Amino acid sequence: MRRPLIPIPSRLPVDGYILALVGTVALAALLPARGPAATVADGASTGAVALLFFLYGARLSTREAMAGLRHWRLHLTVLACTFAVFPLLGLAARGLVPYVLPPALYTGLLFLCLVPSTVQSSIAFTSLARGNVAAAICAGSFSSIVGIVATPLLAGLVLHSGGAGLSADSLLSIACQLLLPFVAGQLLRRWIGTFITRHKKALGYVDRGSILLVVYTAFSAGMVQGIWHQVSPLRLLCLLGVEAVLLTLMLTGTAYGSKKLGFPREDRIAIIFAGSKKSLAAGLPMASVLFGPQAGLAVLPLMLFHQMQLMVCAVLAKRYAAGTGMGAKPEVGAGRAAGRDTGSEAAASGVPR
């Protein structure tokens, strides 16, 4: 029997949490929150966003982040990919409106290009591919920190035509729901860090539940306002095609760009996975603050892109681990050591970021 030219993975990484998100969207479509229930859901969602960023701040080890500064060239490269190259590609996609993408989906696509990189999934894929896991941890952490400020500011610059600019109320909401809880978590980490670490699994469920609440509130508002009638199945297929091109450009650009910049193989792997991915866990609550009732369509491109990047990067990580696709085969011992050192980090909370 002839072997297939392209090896097919035995199990595609269809994230169980994505299934929960899809179920939440379906619930919002069938039973959207209306009237007083919508007011309660909106208030609970606001509190959930603040709690999420408080936990992000409490989890982040300032000592580990400062120790990672020695890889400043790598971190600057990842930040440039996340907050410069991605947004430029998003702006270039403006030419697809309205022929390929309707304005509402394009706004969501552009927002996708502005959110920070992932943390857990970048670490997991870098470890699987036997790359520089310590660099991936720091790169993801730095991207999350910078994104709390950079994403809203970039949104104010490039999304103003879509009504998502930074008004005084938006700035106040960002400060109260994102920045202040994050800073409070950092300041209180000295006293609650041990508790956070000890109850990491339980708090992971808090993260997941909070994000599901944010999604339900956003999509409920969209259903009540009838915004879903603006999108046809053909437009969704076009969106998937555009996102596939976007992911291909970023994966190719990070691979060849990091090689041209002279990074060793292990660092290039970290750059590829941290520089080409976007955070669902950070993007969803940010969208609820920036877009308000219009957040439903705005987060749809991010949700689709998240699952796409998981599936593609899982295949790439297996190829890199086998020594194909990036030149010379790495030392097996080094890869195993990296996996041992970071196995707990990769499963820090279970939230797809």
- Spatial CB neighbours of 197, under 8 Å, sequence gap ≥ 6: none
- pLDDT score at 347: 40
Q: How would you write the pLDDT of the chain (353 residues) with one tens digit per residue?
A: 444 444 444 454 556 777 887 888 889 888 888 888 888 888 888 888 888 888 878 877 766 666 666 788 999 999 999 999 999 999 999 999 999 999 889 999 999 999 999 877 888 899 889 898 888 888 888 888 888 889 988 988 887 644 455 555 666 777 777 788 888 988 898 899 888 888 888 888 888 888 788 888 878 877 776 766 667 889 989 999 999 999 999 999 999 999 999 999 999 999 999 999 998 888 888 888 888 767 778 888 998 898 899 889 988 998 998 876 665 444 444 444 333 333 333 344 444 45
How many other β-carbons are positioned within 10 Å of the β-carbon of residue 61?
Answer: 14
Cβ neighbours for 262, distance < 8 A, ≥ 6 positions apart = none
Residue 64: the pLDDT is 63
| pLDDT for residue 213 | 87
Cα 57 to the center of its chain, rounded Å: 17
- Percent share of the chain, pLDDT over 90: 27
Q: Is the dihedral of CA 187, 77, 247, 64 positive or negative?
A: negative
Q: Measure the CA–CA gap between 50 and 179, rounded to whole angstroms.
A: 9
The whole-model pTM stands at: 0.76
- Output the pLDDT for position 117: 93
Main-chain phi, psi angles of 15, to 5 degrees:
-65, 125
The two tokens of residue 150 are 């950079």
Other beta carbons within 10 Å of 1: 3
- Contact 268/73 with Cβ under 8 angstroms? no
